[in-house]
Structure 1
Amino acid sequence: MAGRIKAPTGRYGGKSAEERQAERRRRFLGAALQLFGDGPGFRGTTVAALSEAAGLSTRQFYEEFRTLEDVLAALHLQVNGWAEDAVMGAVAEAEDMPLAERATVIFRAYAANVTSDRRRIRITFVEIIGVSPRLEEQRLARRARWIDLVCAEVAGAVARGEAAPRDYRLAVTAFIGSVNGLLHDWSAGWVDATLDEVVDELVRILLGILQPVGPRLGGP
């Protein structure tokens, strides 16, 4: 299909065209979270099945999206956006805390958000993999955003004297891989630990990077 079908304009049922479009999009993404995250998966879902699950028509689907890949792309960004909102709230909450406490609050907020609905983990760590070069680029770009966020936190720790000054980007990139892998394995039942224990271990890994064995820097 060359492009999306043009959606109707004007008010209908007391809602503007923009409001109706936002509602349709919300319903399609909600159905996609269910089918992609706890059903046949992205590769096993058709436009017809997604539309039926959303309670909408295939025509309405093509008013919002060109392909199912567009839906997966939007859902992947939405799931990451929810997690980022949770993390930024924790960053503000932990503003004046020492490094270890601050890291614990932030990573607990992230872990609680992404594991609150196992469908989100499947979207983020499973369904998005290997779909297309375009989605692989999006996945890596979103990972780079998380790396930037952690690097900014590390820079703050350096400025407060809680970490030695050096370029941490490579170490943070490896750390993000550990976060993703451990949370995925925990959600799949392959890690015999509570979520708090998983978060505590991730914090220890981060502190080991920032505060290696030797003369102790500032902080707890």
Structure 2
Amino acid sequence: MAGDPRAGRNYAGLSKEQRVAQRRTRLIDAALELFGTQGYASTPIERLCTVANVSTRSFYEDMGSREVLLIALVERVSAVALAEAMASLTRNRGASLSVRVIDAFRAYLAVTCADHRSARVLYVEVVGVSPVVEQWRREQRRVLAGLLIGEARDAVERGEIKSRRFDLFALAVIGSVHALAQELVQATMPVGTVSLDEICSEIACFVNCGLGLD
């Protein structure tokens, strides 16, 4: 039987693929707003569709589930953050390990913590959602840990630091970064809110002490 003649039809000058891409963008934007303000668990699909101006049928066709939408959102933010961290490493080529690592983390956090919504989604709402989302989080940790391990090993070759097991150290740093970012979102300490500068200062202390740097 012949295929549906409407399948490849353009509407308002847009192909089907372009329309799907636009709907996905609107859904991800809506997810940033709603997951980042009222929370993932408190945001029904119907509310997402209303804010994104997308039908529920299109939602299931384009995304499939809230879980997939959440991953699409955190991937969009983290991809930009990772690119900024890599750009920082390129800018600081030839600098000390401490400068390179700390500035790269600052660049990464400047994106993920650009506003309260993105920070809440990346460091609070994404935690413990499902095995699939946890797998995404593990993969993200592996990427960040790989960068830090590579930087440390390069520093060993330069004679800047002594060789040691860097994989656990990298995970410890990443865990500290996440804990500090969570504190930025939902302060639990009696001193109140923390700033990005304060977080980066703590990261600097952790990295410098952990690697035996001045």
Q: TM-score, normalised by structure 1?
A: 0.86
Moved more, 105-114 or 186-195: 186-195
* Preserved contact between residue 98 and residue 207 of structure 2 (Cα < 8 Å): no
Q: Which residue pairs with 1:50 in the alignment?
A: 48
Q: Which residue pairs with 2:25 in the alignment?
A: 26
Give unmatched runs, 5+ long, in structure 1: 1-6, 213-219
AA partner of residue 36 (structure 1): F
The alignment partner of 1:91 has SS state of helix
Residue 192 (structure 1) shift: 5.3
Partners of 2:99 and 2:67 lie apart in 1 by 40
Q: Which residue pairs with 1:88 in the alignment?
A: 86
Moved more, 136-145 or 96-105: 96-105
The alignment partner of 1:43 has SS state of coil
RMSD between aligned residues: 1.9
Residue 111 (structure 1) shift: 2.0
Q: TM-score, normalised by structure 2?
A: 0.88
* Preserved contact between residue 32 and residue 75 of structure 1 (Cα < 8 Å): yes
Partners of 2:24 and 2:7 lie apart in 1 by 14
Partners of 1:187 and 1:177 lie apart in 2 by 15
Partners of 1:125 and 1:142 lie apart in 2 by 12
Partners of 1:162 and 1:10 lie apart in 2 by 61
Q: Which residue pairs with 1:217 in the alignment?
A: none
The alignment partner of 2:41 has SS state of helix
Q: How many residue pairs align between the two structures? A: 206
Residue 65 (structure 1) shift: 1.4
Q: What percentage of aligned pairs have identical amino acids?
A: 34
Residue 182 (structure 1) shift: 1.0
1:56-97 CA deviation, whole Å, 9 max, x = no partner? Answer: 211221220111111112112222212111111111111121
Partners of 2:65 and 2:107 lie apart in 1 by 33
Residue 60 of structure 1, aligned match among 55, 58, 69: 58
* Preserved contact between residue 85 and residue 104 of structure 2 (Cα < 8 Å): yes
* Preserved contact between residue 85 and residue 105 of structure 2 (Cα < 8 Å): yes
* Preserved contact between residue 97 and residue 152 of structure 2 (Cα < 8 Å): no
* Preserved contact between residue 107 and residue 203 of structure 1 (Cα < 8 Å): no
The alignment partner of 1:130 has SS state of coil
Taking a change above 3 Å as real, the CA distance of residues 109 and 16 of structure 1, as seen in their structure-2 partners, is: same
